[in-house]
């Protein structure tokens, strides 16, 4: 269907434009939704057009060269208006006008010619030839002037600042440095922005007129001031509309053999035709959100063999669009435009599920915990028992005795800590701290183990027989896909051979083929888009399993010809629909509440095994406490042993010294018994024997004493006084 344009660009003389806008206004073409733009020929004359003409141009946007105001311009305008009034005041249809850009250019051109003539070195006579006759023949009688080429070169090469700005020819053309963008509002001309080659579109002339204004190019909608469009509207028009008497849009819908929950066509070739389904409801809800009426009619199209044919019909404009379960893929976007997707994306794998009853359950109690967690627990149990027994051995009678008894006690205590059933009474503070920490770790692990094991034993679970397409490829199993789907090309990219692939059209065929398996003429897996597999699972329950997604796709979308303005409008409407509650209501209508809670996306959906990584923090904390308590116990043991040795050494030294009186008497006898001992002489005398103060069972001891004989008072020679 061809859309009617609402954008018009007018390029003609002002007098012709005045008649055009008068006619357009009379037939209602200057109302809301239309866009009118005029070029500089009309834009320059907007200020001098008659009032009745500007009244028919409300909302028109125009372009014209910009001239900055100056005292020179003001003086010229005053002189021009005075002479204009003097000449045209008798004409009631002519408005008192001010000069326009045409007058500024004319004035500058005359000035350039005069300046060039003055600079010319040749005589200033123009060699008019015969000047007799009427003045009307003057132009015909003009003869070429020899000064013409020089005069022309002087004009083209001249450069000065005139009324219209810098006067300079570039390639024999007078360039315009910047344009003014104006908007006709009632009887006034309002400036909304500027355009120049150096700055592009801008609301201001340049950055110097507004401090901080960035010098950048941008789109008109981002930098221009607000535009008042025809119909006194500030909403930017779309620029197109549907004709009131145009044909109705022909929307193609696919006729399916199954999966009619998406599109269901009844009586396609009769007047009682009925088209329903999830995709249809989404499309109609989006159309209702458009800001305009969209007449359309559904056209059933049999695309059982290929949806690409349906897309090609839109490309060749046999239909104005296609609505249904059409997947958005890269190859199709080369020919048509799609709206935003409205379904879940991806290609998944459908396989037969295996129930838990088919698996042995004798060792199921080991499954909640991974192997590394079991090993970590055994290591910590043994190490904890060893450390606690080491700490308790010096102070606890229960861990003392013969080697065999100590070994039995150690193993019993080590493994009883795993269940906290030991009956040991701890006497060391370090042992108590270790056991409190370890019991907390066990409490967390045991609670998690109990919950996981309960889930395994009580919940009915399904596990897929196949979790990876490569398993099917290596085994050479058969796989299936939906007839006419692009999934066939995807399977070929995965290196499946054509002999391994089988096509199906209905959900019943899906179920029968999967139950048979590859060995009995069926398939081991079916590859299809996620929405179709979800629809299949809603019908057949959990006898089958979805694995994936295997490949990524965008999802379902509505197709329209390239460049169709409906794509953007419908996409916005569909986003509002999906984000709101209406989209969920449509989904619940066709798929029920179960579609919102399906959880088949993972090949292992039954439970998650607990690993050592789940309790890594607990093990680190417990290990630090265990090591710290062991170091504290070793330090205390070493310190106590060192202190005992010091006390024993000090006690033995004090008891080994004999009494002073006994030693004095023995020394005196030794000195007196030595006749050669002289006064002032020092000798070292051996001494051995036992002292009364020592216990009877102590062994004899030996000492050597230094003795000096001195005289005291009137003591006779040979007497001995205590000294030393």
Q: Does residue 299 share a domain with residue 232?
A: no
CA–CA separation, 702 and 82 (whole Å): 149
- Domain assignment present for residue 2? The answer is yes
Torsion, Cα 589 591 592 593, to 10 degrees, reads -120
Is residue 59 within 8 A of residue 36, CB to CB? The reply is yes
State residue 625's pLDDT score: 87
Q: Does residue 252 share a domain with residue 240?
A: no
Q: Does residue 183 share a domain with residue 325?
A: no
Q: Does residue 423 share a domain with residue 292?
A: no
Q: Does residue 320 share a domain with residue 252?
A: yes
Which pair of tokens denotes residue 664? 């004095």
- Domain assignment present for residue 418? The answer is yes
192-224 confidence digits (pLDDT tens): 999 888 888 888 776 444 444 444 444 444 567
Choosing from 343, 374, 399, the residue where a domain stops is 343
Instruction: Return the SS3 of 324.
Output: strand
556-614 confidence digits (pLDDT tens): 999 999 988 889 989 999 999 988 888 889 988 888 765 544 444 444 444 567 888 88
Phi-psi category of residue 94: left, alpha or beta, with phi > 0 → left and psi -120 to 50 → alpha: beta
Instruction: Tell me which residue range forms the domain holding 9.
Output: 1-66+177-207+215-244
- Domain assignment present for residue 183? The answer is yes
State residue 186's pLDDT score: 76
Choosing from 343, 377, 404, the residue where a domain stops is 343
Report mean pLDDT in 10-residue bins for the chain, 724 residues: 78 92 91 92 88 89 90 87 75 64 89 84 49 52 71 84 86 87 87 87 65 43 78 83 72 88 87 90 92 87 83 93 92 94 88 65 78 86 78 68 68 64 66 80 85 73 73 89 88 90 90 90 91 87 82 90 90 90 89 56 54 84 86 83 82 59 56 54 52 46 51 49 44
Q: Does residue 298 share a domain with residue 233?
A: no
Q: Does residue 257 share a domain with residue 230?
A: no
Q: Does residue 453 share a domain with residue 324?
A: no
List CB contacts of 674: < 8 A, sequence separation 6 or more.
none
CA–CA separation, 692 and 84 (whole Å): 154
State residue 644's pLDDT score: 82
- Domain assignment present for residue 521? The answer is no
Pick from 505, 512, 507, 499: nearest CA to 482: 505
CA–CA separation, 132 and 645 (whole Å): 151
Q: Does residue 268 share a domain with residue 234?
A: no
- Domain assignment present for residue 56? The answer is yes
Q: Does residue 290 share a domain with residue 305?
A: yes
- Domain assignment present for residue 335? The answer is yes
- Domain assignment present for residue 429? The answer is yes
- Domain assignment present for residue 397? The answer is yes
Is residue 420 within 8 A of residue 578, CB to CB? The reply is no
> DSSP letters along 130-165, please?
---S-GGGTTTT----TTHHHHHHHHHH-EEEETTE
Q: Which residues of 597-612 are buried (b: 16+ CB within 10 A; e: fewer)?
A: eeebeebeeeeeebeb
Choosing from 441, 457, 473, the residue where a domain stops is 457
**Count of domains in the chain?**
3
- CATH number of the domain within which 270 lies: 3.40.190.10
Q: Which residues of 323-353 are buried (b: 16+ CB within 10 A; e: fewer)?
A: bbbbbbbeebeeebbbbbbbbbbbbbbbbbb
Q: Does residue 419 share a domain with residue 445?
A: yes
Is residue 626 within 8 A of residue 384, CB to CB? The reply is yes
State residue 410's pLDDT score: 67
CA–CA separation, 282 and 279 (whole Å): 5
Torsion, Cα 398 404 406 409, to 10 degrees, reads -70
- Write out the H or E segment, with its range, that includes residue 620: helix 616-656
Q: Does residue 311 share a domain with residue 225?
A: no
């Amino acid at each position: 269907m061809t859309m009617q344009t609402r954008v018009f660009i007018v390029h003609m003389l002002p007098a012709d434009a005045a008649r055009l806008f008068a006619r357009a206004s009379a037939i209602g073409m200057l109302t809301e939704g239309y866009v009118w733009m005029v070029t500089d020929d009309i834009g320059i004359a907007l200020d001098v057009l008659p009032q009745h003409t500007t009244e028919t141009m409300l909302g028109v946007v125009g372009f014209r060269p910009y001239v900055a105001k100056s005292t020179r311009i003001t003086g010229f305008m005053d002189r021009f208006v005075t002479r204009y009034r003097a000449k045209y005041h008798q004409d009631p249809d002519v408005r008192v006008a001010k000069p326009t850009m045409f007058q500024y250019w004319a004035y500058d051109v005359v000035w350039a010619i005069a300046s060039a003539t003055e600079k010319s070195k040749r005589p200033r006579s123009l060699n008019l030839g015969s000047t007799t006759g009427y003045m009307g023949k003057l132009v015909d009688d003009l003869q070429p002037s020899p000064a013409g080429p020089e005069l022309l070169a002087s004009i083209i090469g001249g450069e000065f600042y005139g009324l219209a700005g810098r006067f300079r020819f570039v390639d024999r053309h007078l360039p315009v440095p910047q344009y003014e963008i104006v908007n006709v509002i009632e009887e006034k001309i309002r400036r909304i922005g500027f355009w120049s080659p150096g700055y592009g579109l801008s609301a201001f002339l340049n950055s110097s007129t507004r401090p901080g204004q960035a010098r950048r190019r941008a789109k008109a909608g981002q930098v221009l001031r607000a535009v008042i469009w025809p119909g006194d509207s500030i909403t930017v028009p779309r620029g197109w509309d549907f004709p009131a008497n145009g044909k109705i849009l022909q929307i193609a819908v696919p006729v399916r053999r199954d999966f009619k929950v998406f599109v269901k066509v009844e009586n396609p070739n009769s007047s009682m035709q009925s088209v329903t389904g999830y995709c249809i409801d989404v499309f109609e809800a989006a159309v209702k959100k458009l800001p305009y009426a969209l007449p359309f009619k559904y056209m059933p199209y049999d695309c059982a063999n290929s949806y690409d044919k349906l897309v090609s019909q839109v490309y060749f404009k046999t239909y104005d669009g296609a609505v249904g379960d059409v997947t958005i893929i890269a190859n199709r976007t080369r020919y048509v435009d799609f709206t935003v997707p409205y379904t879940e994306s991806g290609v998944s794998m459908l396989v037969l599920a295996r129930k838990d009853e088919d698996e042995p359950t004798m060792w199921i109690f080991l499954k909640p915990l991974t192997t590394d967690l079991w090993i970590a627990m055994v290591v910590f149990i043994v190490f904890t028992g060893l450390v606690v027994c080491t700490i308790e051995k010096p102070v606890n009678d229960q861990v003392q005795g013969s080697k065999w008894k100590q070994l039995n006690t150690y193993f019993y205590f080590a493994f009883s800590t795993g269940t906290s059933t030991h009956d040991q009474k701890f006497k060391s503070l370090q042992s108590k701290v270790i056991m409190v920490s370890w019991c907390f770790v066990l409490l967390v692990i045991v609670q998690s183990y109990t919950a996981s094991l309960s889930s395994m034993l009580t919940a009915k679970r399904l596990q897929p027989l196949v979790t990876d397409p490569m398993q099917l490829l290596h085994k050479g199993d058969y796989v299936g896909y939906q007839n006419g789907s692009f999934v066939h090309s995807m399977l070929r990219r995965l290196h499946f051979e054509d002999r391994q692939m089988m096509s199906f059209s209905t959900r019943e065929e899906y179920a029968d083929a999967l139950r048979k398996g590859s060995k009995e003429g069926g398939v081991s897996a079916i590859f299809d888009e996620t929405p179709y597999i979800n629809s299949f699972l809603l019908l057949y329950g959990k006898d089958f399993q979805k694995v994936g997604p295997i490949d990524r796709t965008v999802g379902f979308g509505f197709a329209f010809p390239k460049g169709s303005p409906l794509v953007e409008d419908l996409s916005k409407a569909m986003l509002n629909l999906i984000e709101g509650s209406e989209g969920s209501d449509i989904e619940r209508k066709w798929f029920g509440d179960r579609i919102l809670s399906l959880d088949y996306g993972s090949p292992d959906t039954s439970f998650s095994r607990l690993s050592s990584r789940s309790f890594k923090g607990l093990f680190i904390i417990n290990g630090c406490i265990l090591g710290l308590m062991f170091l504290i116990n070793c330090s205390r043991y070493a310190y106590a042993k060192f202190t005992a040795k010091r006390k024993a050494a000090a006690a033995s030294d004090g008891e080994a010294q004999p009494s002073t009186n006994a030693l004095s008497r023995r020394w005196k006898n030794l000195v007196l018994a030595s006749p050669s001992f002289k006064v002032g002489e020092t000798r070292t005398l051996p001494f051995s024997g036992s002292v009364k103060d020592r216990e009877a069972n102590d062994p004899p001891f030996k000492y050597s004493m230094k003795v000096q004989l001195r005289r005291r008072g009137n003591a006779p020679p040979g007497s001995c006084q205590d000294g030393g």
